[in-house]
Amino acid sequence: MNKRYPSTKLDEAVMRVVACAGYDLVFADDEISDKEPEAYHSILEKYFTDDSAAELLVEAEKRETRLHEAITVINQEGDWNHKKHVITCLVQLAIVDEVFISQESTIIMEIALKLGLKPLLAYSLIFETARECGFGSNNQNNTSLNKNIL
């Protein structure tokens, strides 16, 4: 059986940004729900690879190095669609526990800015993606969303 894995350096870079930043998102909150690690693996397996565990880097220094290298590849070879895919995957992961905390917002914004997105465009993309995923459909979620990205 062949394992599914990104076929280009650029697609691999997109996966690695999602994997590295996604790891940071999972551990951004003091309380980690069961949904978050499950969603981390689910997103990687849905879009990129059959072996999400292989992309898991626990050591912060190695994760930061891999993240920097992957962002460099995306900025050199990628386009809007690659950057949008990274941000939408990260937002999906951040809101899986139905809470969008400021630490998660900060992580996603930092990635967006490193990818060269202008702040207003990044905010709009985060907000739009969260809304499309059903987040913000009630007043509590809407307040959390507005408070933490605006």
CATH, residue 134 = 1.10.3680
Residue 12 confidence (pLDDT): 96
Q: Across all residues in the chain, what is the average pLDDT?
A: 89
In a domain, 1, yes or no: no
Q: Which of 10-19, 28-37, 38-47 has the largest mean confidence?
A: 10-19
Residue 100 confidence (pLDDT): 84
Confidence band of 140 (pLDDT split at 50, 70, 90): low
Is 74 strand, coil or helix?
Answer: helix
Confidence band of 149 (pLDDT split at 50, 70, 90): low
* Sequence letter at residue 50: D
- Residue 21, judged by CB atoms within 10 A of its CB (0-12, 13-18, 19+), counts as buried
Model pTM score: 0.88
Q: Are 88 and 125 in contact (CB under 8 A)?
A: yes
In a domain, 103, yes or no: yes
Distance between CA atoms of 138 and 126, rounded to whole angstroms? 17
Residue 1 confidence (pLDDT): 47
In a domain, 2, yes or no: no
- Residue 16, judged by CB atoms within 10 A of its CB (0-12, 13-18, 19+), counts as buried
Residue 144 has a CB neighbour count (10 Å cut-off) of: 21
In a domain, 68, yes or no: yes
- Above pLDDT 70, what percent of the chain? 89
Average pLDDT in the 92-111 region? 91
Distance between CA atoms of 101 and 53, rounded to whole angstroms? 25
Confidence band of 139 (pLDDT split at 50, 70, 90): very low
Residue 29 confidence (pLDDT): 80
Q: What is the dihedral of CA 117, 118, 123, 129, to 10 degrees?
A: -30
Residue 134 confidence (pLDDT): 85
Provide the number of structural domains found in the chain: 1
Per the model's pLDDT, the better-predicted residue between 138 and 28 turns out to be 28
Print the domain residue range for 81. Answer: 9-149
- What is the Cβ-side half-sphere exposure of residue 20, based on CA atoms within 13 angstroms? 21
* Sequence letter at residue 96: V
Confidence band of 74 (pLDDT split at 50, 70, 90): very high
CA 56 from centroid of its chain's CA atoms: 14
In a domain, 24, yes or no: yes
